Amino acid sequence: MAIFNRNIVTKTVATLGALLVSASMLAGAAQAGETLDKIKSRGQIKVGVGTLPGFFSPDSNGKWQGFFIDFGRALAITVFNDPDKVEFTSSSPQQRLPALQAGEFDVLLSGVTQTITRSFKLGFHFGPIIFYDGQGLLVAKSLGVTKGSELDGATIGVQSGTTGELNIADFFRKNDKKFTPVVIEDTKEFVSALETGRVDALTQDASDLALKRAQFAKPDEFLLLPERLSKEPLAPAIRAGDDQWLEIVNWTVYATIQAEEFGITKENVDSFLTSEDPAIKRFLGVDPSLGEAIGLDPKFAYNIIKNLGNYGEIFERNIGKSTPVGFERGYNQPWTQGGLLYSPPFR
C-alpha cells in the first residue's frame, strides 16, 4: 500500500523552496544586528552543514568533525568564546537555501558555491571564500604525468549529467591536445574505471575526486593533478541585510588566514603574546584597542587559534595530506605561498 508518495519529492521541495524564498523576500531581509541578538538570547549559533567525509561528519561518538565544522566552532568562539556553543544541522542541497531564508540557520557552512545569482536573486551574503574547489583530474601515478597539460591522447572518465564534459573538452582544446571521453553514469563504475585501468584519468570536482580516491584499495598510487578546470568557490552564506553578522563571519575567517600568514599556530600562539610587532599585538588582542572598536572580544583571534589553530592547521587536520582524504593545499594556501587566501589587514 503506497500511502506516502515519494515520486514527487524533488518537485515539491523545489516548488516550496521557490515559494518560500519569494515569500521571505517580500517579508523583507534581515535587519542589522538582528542575527547576533537572536544568537545571544538563544545561547548558540545555528549552522547548516552537509555530510561529507572530512568536511562535515559526526564521529563515532556523535560529535561533529570536519573542515567546515571547525569554522562553525570558530564563529562560536568569536561570539561566545566557547567552541561548543554551536548547533550543527545537516540539510540536503535542495533544502539548505530556503532553510537559511526561513531563519532555520544563522549561517550555512555546507559548501555553498558563491555565484552572482545567489547573491542577487536569492538575497544571500557570502563571507570570505574558505575553500577553492573546482573540477580536477585524478590519474594513476604510474602514468608519469604531473600536470593536466601533459595528458595527450588520454581516455578520460566523466560522470554523465554534469558540466564536467564541456569543461574537459575546453581544457584540451586550449592545450591543443587530444582525448577520448568515456561517459559513465554509475558512481561505483566511475570509481572502478580508473582502478581497473579502463580510463587514464577521472574528472570531477577535486574534493569529490579526493574522497573517491580515499575509497580506493591503494590510494597512494593515484595523483590529483594541480589544475582546476572550473571555479567552485565555497563560502559561508548568510541572509542578506545583516551587515554586523556578515562582518563577524568575515573577520572570524580572516583571523584563521591571517594567523597562518603570521606563522602563528595552536602550539606557538602563546609565545607571540610577548611579540613587539604592533600588528601582532593588535591581532592577538594584547593591544585591546582594536577589539573595543569593533565590539568583539579583543582576544577573539587568540581564542580561535588557541582552540582550533590557523587555517593551515584546520585544513591539514581534516582534509590534508595526513588524513585519508589527502587533499593538496593547491589554491587553498596563503597568497604569500602562491595560493589565493588573503586576509585584509587587522588594523
Residues that bind other proteins (CB under 8 A): 1, 3-6, 8-9, 12-13, 16, 20, 23-24, 27, 48, 51-54, 57-62, 65-66, 87, 89-92, 94-95, 98-99, 102-104, 211, 214-217, 318-319, 323-325
Q: Using the minimum distance from each CB to other proteins, give the nearer residue, 27 or 293.
A: 27
* Closest to 113 (Cα-Cα) out of 45, 21, 205: 205
Q: Using the minimum distance from each CB to other proteins, give the nearer residue, 217 or 293.
A: 217
CB of 346 to other proteins, least distance (A): 32
Q: At what angle do helices 93-101 and 9-27 cross, to 10 degrees?
A: 20
CB of 20 to other proteins, least distance (A): 6
CB of 145 to other proteins, least distance (A): 25
The kind and range of the H/E element at 69 are: helix 67-80
| Backbone dihedral angles phi then psi of residue 42, each to the nearest 5 degrees | -80, -30
Whole-angstrom distance, CA of residue 347 vs CA of residue 344: 9
Q: Using the minimum distance from each CB to other proteins, give the nearer residue, 12 or 268.
A: 12
CB of 61 to other proteins, least distance (A): 5
CB of 7 to other proteins, least distance (A): 8
Cβ distance 91 to 99 under 8 Å?
A: yes
Q: Using the minimum distance from each CB to other proteins, give the nearer residue, 90 or 307.
A: 90
Strands (E), the chain: 45-49, 57-58, 64-65, 86-90, 107-113, 124-126, 131-133, 135-140, 154-159, 179-184, 201-205, 222-224, 232-239
Alpha helix ranges (H) inside 137-276:
164-175, 187-195, 206-214, 243-262
Q: Using the minimum distance from each CB to other proteins, give the nearer residue, 6 or 347.
A: 6
* Closest to 298 (Cα-Cα) out of 261, 346, 243, 256: 346
Q: Using the minimum distance from each CB to other proteins, give the nearer residue, 50 or 127.
A: 50
Cell of 23: 515569500
CB of 207 to other proteins, least distance (A): 12
DSSP state of 334: B
